[in-house]
Amino acid sequence: MLENSRSVVKGRFKVNPAKRKCLIFSDNEGLSYIQPLFIGALESIETPYEVHLIKNYKEILSDTDTPLSFESVKELNIFDERNIKQLLKEQYMGTQLYIASSWKTAEYLFSLALDCGYSEEEIQVHGLGEKTEYVFCAKCYNLTLKDNEENVVCSNCNTVLVVTHEYSKLRKGYLGFAKTN
Ligand SMILES: [Zn+2]
C-alpha cells in the first residue's frame, strides 16, 4: 500500500511549524533515524510531540533497549491493533503523523492510519531495512518475491513473467504478464 505513496520520505522528515502536534511511531530500527536530529528539531520549534515505540512481544519481554534522547515515550504492542487505532482516532485535527520503522511495520501502521481517516499528506513514512515487494502473476494470481530483474519466474506456475511498474493495491504486488516467446 505504501508503494508510490507521497507519504514516503527518503531523506529527513520534514518539520512543519504549523502543525499543532506530532505523533511519532517508531520501532527499534527507527529510533536512530528520529533521534537526536528530528526530535531536536521538534523541540527547537516547540511543537508538542509524542513518541510511541512499537514493539513485538519478544521485544517487550527483553530489556535491551536503545537509549533514548527524549522523555515522552510510550510503548505499544504491535499486535494491539485496537489500542493503536484508538490512539490514532483520538488525535486533534492538524496532527502530523510520522512513522519511522522497518518497512513491514511501516506498511502496517500506514494502512491503520488510512483506515482511521488520515490523508497521505498527514503522514510521513521512513522505512528502514529490506523492502519486500511482490510480483502478481496474471496467469495464476500467485505472488512471487520481486528482485531487481526485468523478468521473474512465478513460484507457483513457473511462467516467466515480465514485471511491470503497475502496482495493484488490491493484489499487493506489481503486475506480471506472461512473457511471449
Ligand atoms: Zn503464476
The domain ranges of the chain are 21-128, 134-178
Q: Say how many Å lie between the CA of residue 159 and the centre of ligand 1.
A: 6
pLDDT, residue 68, reads 80
Q: Say how many Å lie between the CA of residue 166 and the centre of ligand 1.
A: 17
For the chain, residues with pLDDT lower than 70 are 1, 57, 60-65, 181
Neighbours of ion ligand 1 (CB under 5 A): 137, 139-140, 142, 154, 156-157, 159
pLDDT, residue 1, reads 67
Class of domain 21-128: alpha beta
pLDDT tens for 70-106 read 777 888 888 899 999 999 999 988 899 999 999 989 9
Q: Say how many Å lie between the CA of residue 129 and the centre of ligand 1.
A: 28
pLDDT, residue 61, reads 65
pLDDT, residue 73, reads 81
pLDDT, residue 148, reads 81
Q: Say how many Å lie between the CA of residue 1 and the centre of ligand 1.
A: 22
pLDDT, residue 171, reads 86
Rounded Cα gap, residues 51 and 69, in angstroms: 11
Q: Say how many Å lie between the CA of residue 122 and the centre of ligand 1.
A: 37
pLDDT, residue 93, reads 87
